[in-house]
Amino acid sequence: KDRNLQPTSYNTQLLSVDHPNPSLYKIEINPSSLTLLRASNTTLVLSQSFDEGWKAYSINNKHLTVNKLLLQLFPFFFGKEIKDHVMVNNWGNGWRLNNETMKQCFNGQCNIIIVYLPQYLEYIGFILLGVGILIVIFYPRNHKPQIHN
């Protein structure tokens, strides 16, 4: 009775997937599918090589009043982590979606955001690089060397 949901077009009746960049997947599970998902042990499969850095978060639609961009960029603040991260087919990532992990989705459509957290280190590095360049460009240079006799 195990089901594997792979974020592809094969399961369009169950979910829709948006993949805007290599470190982010946005998955919407249709409300009509929630009953099916609750009744079975379902594994959401991500066909990327297994890494503990991949994290999945379930986000209830009640949080959609928050800016969608913020939800996508920081799902760890607004969602509940799906902790049952498993290896699928000896190489892929999977998350078991059972009653415990889907509790947040009982009142309607559910969104699952999958992010690769180590990617955030690169983003932080770019921000620090930009700040450093701005400091060098705009730092006041009022210091003139003084010559002592």
Contact 8, 27 (CB under 8 A): no
CA dihedral 101, 104, 106, 110 (to 10 degrees): -90
Count of C-beta atoms within a 10 Å radius of residue 114: 23
Residue 35's pLDDT is what? 65
Residue 9's pLDDT is what? 41
Residue 51's pLDDT is what? 96
The label of the residue with tokens 């089901």 reads: 3
Q: Would you state the structure tokens that stand for residue 93, as one six-digit string?
A: 């990532």
Per-residue pLDDT of the chain (149 residues; tens, 9 = 90+): 445 555 544 444 567 888 888 999 998 877 666 666 666 678 889 999 999 999 999 887 665 566 777 878 888 888 889 999 999 999 999 998 877 666 666 555 678 899 999 999 999 999 999 999 999 998 877 666 677 76
Nearest to 4 by CA among 51, 39, 38, 40: 40
Residue 39's pLDDT is what? 62
CA angle 50, 53, 54 (to 5 degrees): 65
Residue 144's pLDDT is what? 65
Nearest to 46 by CA among 2, 109, 4: 4
Residue 113's pLDDT is what? 92
Helix (H, G, I), strand (E, B) or coil at 125: helix
Residue 1's pLDDT is what? 43
